[in-house]
Amino acid sequence: MTGHVITPPKPDRLATTISAALIAMALLLVSFTAVAADLPALTGRVVDDAGIIDAGTRAALTQKLADFEKKGSDQIVVATINSLDGEEIEPYANRLFRAWKLGQGGEDNGVLLLVAKNDRKMRIEVGYGLEGTLTDLHTKLIIENDMVPAFRAGDFSGGISKAVDDMVMVLEGNPEELEARGARNPPDTISIDPIVALFVILWVTLFLGGLAMAFLPPVFGTKLSPGVYKWLGMTFSYSHGSRSWSRGGSWTSGSSSGSGWSSGSSGSSWSSGSSGGGFSGGGGSSGGGGSSGSW
């Protein structure tokens, strides 16, 4: 039996392979760096890159959040961006939360309120340590009762301020008012665009009508001749591969029964300086708790 001899790669081929692998790794690293570079910088407790919060509200929010943070250690940051650039808001918010390391390391007691203006979406991302206090139900109520109505009216500053007030209220141990308000004002039921509804109705009507015209006349109609039936005052003619009816109009279908119809790490230091430079998260992280919405 002749044995197979494994020939080691030539030195020049091995060098080429290693070089290609290193280049691929470098490109991958650059792509990850580019993704991280797309995230806005944490410059304060209110990062209004979309420019939708007026100056007075921005200053009031910054002071309110600083005062709240001093009472305990929970950290709330508000961020607005112009666009998600095609990314869903949930992974984007989680990436931003982790990049900013909101909340204290080991406590994970940070909250991010994110608004994407051009995408008309918002999210409240909650750190691990606060998920039992600021629950998904609370964040959903805040979005649907505070933010969505105000945003639809063009009042971004008012909607964000009310959302912050309610988050602070819940985190301070007083969720009853929010829950009672949510019970009094249940969220809007799912609405369907009238044009979409009309399209669906027409499609269903044509589809079911096609089925009816194909199968009902032979069952309930009167047979006039082979392949010809009279039903509901109309005459239906059936031939191999096609069907038709006549009485001021026509209907045809192919041989099929239907018809065609031609949406951080915990080792970081804690720092909470002024709304200018020097403000940072404290090493907190999030596992995706919270709620999202749109307007």
Distance in angstroms (rounded) separating the CA atoms of residues 133 and 113: 16
264, 283 Cβ separation under 8 angstroms? yes
Which residues make Cβ contacts (< 8 Å) with residue 179, sequence separation at least 6?
A: 137, 138, 141
- The CA-to-CA distance between both ends of the chain, in Å, stands at 75
| Dihedral sign of CA atoms 276, 90, 174, 73 in order | negative
pLDDT, one tens digit for every residue, the chain (295 residues): 555 555 555 555 555 555 555 555 555 554 544 444 389 999 999 999 999 999 999 999 999 999 999 998 899 999 999 999 999 999 999 999 999 999 998 999 999 999 999 999 999 999 999 999 999 999 999 999 999 999 999 999 999 999 999 999 999 999 998 888 777 666 554 445 566 566 667 666 666 666 666 667 777 777 777 777 777 777 777 665 555 555 444 444 444 444 433 333 333 334 444 334 467 777 888 888 999 999 9
Verdict on whether the full-model pTM lies above 0.85: no
DSSP the chain: -PPPPPPPPPHHHHHHHHHHHHHHHHHHHHHHHHHHHTSPP--SSEEETT--S-HHHHHHHHHHHHHHHHHSS-EEEEEEES--TT--HHHHHHHHHHHHT-SBTTT--EEEEEEETTTTEEEEEE-GGGTTTS-HHHHHHHIIIIIHHHHHTT-HHHHHHHHHHHHHHHHTT--HHHHHHHHHSPPPPPP--HHHHHHHHHHHHHHHHHHHHHHHHHHHSEEEETTEEEETTEEEEEETTEEEEESSSB--B-SSSS-------TTSPP-B--SSTTB--BB----SEEEEEE-
pLDDT in the model for residue 207: 66
Which residues make Cβ contacts (< 8 Å) with residue 233, sequence separation at least 6?
A: 247
276, 44 Cβ separation under 8 angstroms? yes
